[in-house]
Structures are given as C-alpha cells and as structure tokens.
Structure 1
Amino acid sequence: MARVNGAFLDVLLLLLLLSVQTLPLVAAGDPHNCDAPLASSLPQLSFSSSSQLSSSHGPGFARLNRRDGAGGWTPLVSNKYQWLQIDLGERMEVTAVATQGGYGSSDWVTSYLLMFSDGGRNWKQYHQEESISGFPGNTNADSVVQYSLQPSFHTRFLRFLPLTWNPKGRIGMRIEVYGCSYSDGNLPPVNSIMNFTLGSLLDDWHWHSVLIELQNMHVNFTLDKYMHHVHVNKESSYLDLNFEVVRHCGI
C-alpha cells in the first residue's frame, strides 16, 4: 500500500502542473488570477458621493481614463468630509485600486483613505500592511497611481475619502477597482468531471487510470481502484494537494 500511496503523490504532483492550464485549482501560495477591472463596466447609478460641484462633476463620471462629463468627480466643497462610493453589485474580492485626477484639470487628490462595507452602513478602514495612514494619491491630473492590496479583502461597497489634494485646485478623482467575483477562485460548477490517463506511476511500467471528479466543494481522486476524497472549504481559493494527500494518506 505504501507504493500506492507514493503513486498517489506522484499523480497529484503531475496533475497539479496540468491544473494550471485546465482547472481553477492552484498550489497554495501561488497568486490566482483576480485582477479584472470591476468599476469600468458599472452603470452610473453604482457611483455615489457626498456632494458634487455640478451635474457634469457627478460621481458617475469618476471612471478611470474617462473624459465624459467634466472628466471626473469633484465635490461641491473640497474638505475632509467628502467621499466617493462604489456599489460593486455583489460581494467581490478586491485586490487593487487605482486613481487619477479630473481630466485636464488642476484637481487631484494627493492622499486618501479606503473604506469598505458589506451593507453600505457599517464601514471599516482598509489598512495597508498595518499602516494607519492613508494611500498616497496623485501628483497630476492624468497619471494613474495603482496599488496592490495586500491582503486582499471581500466587500460590496467601497468608499474613497480624500485627505489632501492639490492646494492650487480642488478634489478631483477618477478611480478603478480590480479583483474578481467572490466565487471565482472556488471549484467549478456541479458535475464538472475531468479524466486523465497517465502511465508508469507504480514503477511497474504499466499504464494506470486516473480520474478526477469535481462536484461543488468535493474532489475525488481515483487511481485504478483506490479513491481519495477531499472536501475544500468554501471560503478557500486554494487547494493544497500536497497537504491533503499527506494528511489523508499518511505519506
């Protein structure tokens, strides 16, 4: 049986390499693909703010690299009580943010806080690597300043709170949020089944059948007649194959 257990490990290590191209399962510690722009495709009603200088300076014009309206969001009064909010529509994993100033203007934010909320009422401040200070912003109107968020977090609502801005202008912001659906890193849909046939896995120079069955959060690995079952936590975006095999098979 020890030789079979050793074969399981060999099979799973090889399948781990194949899964990079075929499955949304990745080795623990490897970054997963979660960097899609989330705000650019949202309707204007998904953006809101504390105030706006005019109808052409409204929050719906705050998309990154856009020039419509006045070219960005500007509040009625530039002070530390202003905010720009995005409703992502559902709970998403957020991995990065980016900012610009108002297009072709002297209006940009030089530092800001990032707040998040699941329901849009109770807000928490995002702290970048335990720092209590805000994010450095822009030094001109049109350059993009992007920050990767470590760690990432899950939320539906985001607020950008300007702290400081160009002293010769006003608060002006265009923004983007990057990430993915909260479930994108989980296992494939129900009844998703894949089959592999691999050979020479038991040092006997014979071919052996390998079956991987993915159903919701349940994974079955079958080598010939030997089956190994793994249940993946719904909150997890990773499946550590090495750990699961060692823990369950005692290799």
Structure 2
Amino acid sequence: MEVTAVATQGRHGSTDWVSAYMLLYSDTGRVWKQYMLEDNRIVGNVNPDSVVHHKLSQSIRTRFLRFVPLEWSPSGRVGLRVAVYGCAYRSYVADFDGRSSLLYRFNQKSMSTVKDVISLRFKSRQAEGVLLHGEGQRGDYITLELHRGRLALHLNLGELQSSSARMVVTLGSLLDDLHWHSVLIERFNKQVNFTLDRHTQHFRTKGDGDSLEVDYELSFGGIPLPGKPGTFIRRNFHGCMENLYYNGVNVIDLAKRRKPQIYNILLLPLQYQQESLKVCTNCAEFSQQFHKSCFSVTFEFPLPAKT
C-alpha cells in the first residue's frame, strides 16, 4: 500500500487520547523505519472526539504501520482510533542471491541514446554489489553499484583512452539496511539528474560525447564475464529489486513472462534465511493481485495505560 495520510481520534466517551505520536513503517513487521519529520513527532488530539488529519509530505510504500504514542491525555490514558488513507500499487520484484544476474538484450547490436530514464527500488543485504551495468566498444559505459554502503553512478560517454570523461557520483550511506530505497536516473545529452530517496544530485558529464552507446545488453545484479557463464567481474548484488524500468521497459515483468529479450544467469528460485528478505517474493506475488484503486482502512485497538 502507498500511504498518503493518516487520521486519529481518542477513545469514544472517555478522557483518553494521544496528543503526539511517532509513525513507523515496515514491509516485514520486524525491521522498522521511522517516518521522518523535523521534530520526529506528529501532533495528535486534544480531546477524544475531534478527528485530526495528517497528510504525509512524502507518501510511503509499506505493508505495516506502527503508531507509537509519545504524549497523551493528562487526565486519562492512551486512547487511539486510527484511519489510514492511500492506494494500492502494482509491484514487480526480483530476488538476487549474490550469484545471479538478469540480462536485457537489445534487438540490435548496439543501443545509442541521447536520453535515458532508469528507475528502480532496491533492498540490499550487503554494502557492495552491482545493480546495473552496460558498456560499448567505443568506451561508453554506465554502472550503478553499491560501494561501502553508498550508491555510486559511473558514467562515461565515449573517449576510450581518456579518464577525463569518466564520472563517478555517489549518494546516500548505510544503504545495506534492509529497507527499500528508490533510485531515478534521468539523462539528456550531458545533463544528468541522479536521485536517491528524493535527494537529487545534478551534474554534467565531461568529454565531447552526447550519446550513450551500449552494445548488446544491459545487465542487472552483476557484470557477467563474456564466454564464462557463472563468472562475474565484480561482486554481485544480494537483495531485491522492485519496479525496474529502463526507458519505459518493465524489465522484471519481461523476465516473469519469460520474454526472449531477457536472459537469466543463475537466477533460480531463492530461499532466504532471513525473514526480512523472504517478504520480497511474497510481496511481489501478493501485490500483483491489486489494481490501482484507492481505499482507506479504519481500525481501533487498546494500548497500555500511562505509568
């Protein structure tokens, strides 16, 4: 579910309410992440009956929400009725076990583009690993990888022998935290917008080239060594990728439907030991049953008394 707003009330016919609370979310019910505000709290109620709405400045995609009372009625106890507003969304998830790669093969020998839009979400178990890679014979390449827990984008447009045209831009830290992170890469000629979790780095590529020329294929999850199946040049990605789009192409959807453009290298049905990663596959199978309809959920539950 993509949550866009929440609302609270106190307990009906009582002096119980919550005047401030913290909002946590999770897709496993075990590993939780806090919805960040400047003071880390959301203002709640001042009486049991009024409804207080809070529209999230940034929507969150999650399966579980947790409301943590911080302050409550001085003359009563904790009392909370909650409504959650949002929309279901369609999800396509692929699991990578650190030994696999997904290849998206072009219809022609090479693909030359002056404009690229690449988007995905990932959740990683390791601080190192290649998320995507493509390269061409004239020296062009694009690589997106985790390095020491940071997300690095390597981009080179032409100039085979020159290191001056190479770009490396990094964002984030501690990204092997088993939480979902959103990535968006937008390029037009030399202008690039690189976004991680809504934090954007704008930069301009070096060199004379305006187009990115990639030969044969793009690889996701690792960089396979040509002619040696199962051998990879750098450490592979270990985790999950969701809603992976390359210039409008839903790569994971093609893989699930076994389209000929997609080739799997050791991409087997995986069994994760940690439950926080098992949910990736379950979430994919469950989420695809939803349609893009909006809904709200309202529920009431008891909370511990003030001590």
- Common fold: TM-score over 0.5: no
Normalized per residue, the structure richer in helix is 1
Q: Scaled by the length of structure 2, what TM-score is found?
A: 0.31
Larger Rg: 1
Q: Normalising to structure 1: TM-score of the pair?
A: 0.37
Indicate the structure with greater strand content: 2
